[in-house]
Amino acid sequence: MNKPAILALEDGSVFHGTAIGADGQTSGEVVFNTAMTGYQEILTDPSYSRQIVTLTYPHIGNTGINPEDVESASIAAAGLVIRDLPLVASNFRSTQSLSDYLASQNVVGIADIDTRRLTRILRDKGAQNGAIVAGDEALGDDAEARALEAARAFPGLKGMDLAKVVSCSERYVWNEGEWTLGKGYADTEGAERPFHVVAYDYGVKFNILRMLASRGCKLTVVPAQTPASEVLALDPDGVFLSNGPGDPEPCDYAIDAIREILETEVPVFGICLGHQLLALASGATTVKMNHGHHGANHPVQELDSGHVMITSQNHGFAADETTLPDNLRATHRSLFDGTLQGIERTDRPAFSFQGHPEASPGPRDVAPLFDRFIDMMRSRR
């Protein structure tokens, strides 16, 4: 734990710290996440593809790594930035240290930097393109210059279509249900599952699929570029639009497919990128946010009831509420900055939510959205 590392931002800011994980170089959009726990789920969330994640909580890694708390098959984040990596990890489920986990998947990280200073830069100037160089890459008089060059060479996420990059390559069936202490994840294959849901994989998180499976859904997961005709040929009771990384606007294949599905009466439910794609398919537009929403303590108001929910968030783009057409209404709004958090079609059984209702920030305030989707499928029957 004594190898050097350098983090450089496109604005010229440079941080010197200690390398954790793999040696080498990485670049991406640098964002900050305010969650105190869940670093393993954050790292494996495909929505963080091509992003370097800064965790604002100072001690990261103190519960180690276990094989259950993953949201995809591998680490999706481009890199990790933390203040302090504890030398001892303690948890009854821990099987590996955070640093070893990063190294095993060739992911670069940096510790021992002032994450408060870094977070202030990202908050005031917006998410920055950046680069980490670690180990031997961080040695030499030109190391800072090379890090800055790599940071400024990253093209940025605006206009970048990543959904088709992180998506599965072929269709598959999902049977795993929700986790229970002492029992692990439930096997729903033999359970009664009255609803067939086709889920578009734009970077889907495992726990979304688990929560649908536990609610009686037989799940067929399809690649991001699957035409609507193939999805409808599977005779689904509902179509799910998953979360995912990157800019939604270039995903014309997804927008076209969703638009075609919306011409039917099949219920549609979208989360995160799926929410933005539903908005685009319905005639609204999206915008790149200053620094996005990344954390587990974001208050969101349900507009009809006035209730406030505590939510998990991870997005750098948002649907623009001022562009909603007449057949699309706002259902939820962020109490941090007023940005749109939920929409529903007034002429079709379709709705979506910007946050992550499957990622419990403690309270499970938003989980009933899954129940609403089930009710819509039941009503259609």
CA distances from 286 to 157, 188, 317 (A): 14, 37, 7
Instruction: Take residue 298 and report the two structure tokens written for it.
Output: 């974001």
Question: What residues are paired with 318 via a beta bridge?
Answer: 287
Q: Which amino acid is at 375?
A: D
Nearest-5° Cα angle at 340, 377 to 128: 120
DSSP states along 312-350: EEEEEEEE-GGG--TTEEEEEEETTT--EEEEEESSSSE
Cα 33 to chain centroid, rounded:
11
Please pick, among 10, 71, 344, 358, the residue that the annotation labels catalytic. 358
Cα 369 to chain centroid, rounded:
17
> Is 272 known to be catalytic?
yes
Cα–Cα dist 113/338, whole Å = 32
Instruction: Take residue 193 and report the two structure tokens written for it.
Output: 């599952």
What angle in degrees, to the nearest 10, is found between the helix axes of 273-281 and 252-261?
70
Please pick, among 176, 249, 272, 298, the residue that the annotation labels catalytic. 272
Helix or strand run (H / E) with residue 45: none
Burial (Cβ within 10 Å: 0-12, 13-18, ≥19) of residue 42: buried
> Is 291 known to be catalytic?
no
Cα–Cα dist 294/292, whole Å = 6
**3-class DSSP state for residue 148?**
helix
Nearest-5° Cα angle at 329, 296 to 331: 30
For tokens 């790594």, the residue is: 65
> Is 315 known to be catalytic?
no
Residues annotated as catalytic are 272, 356, 358
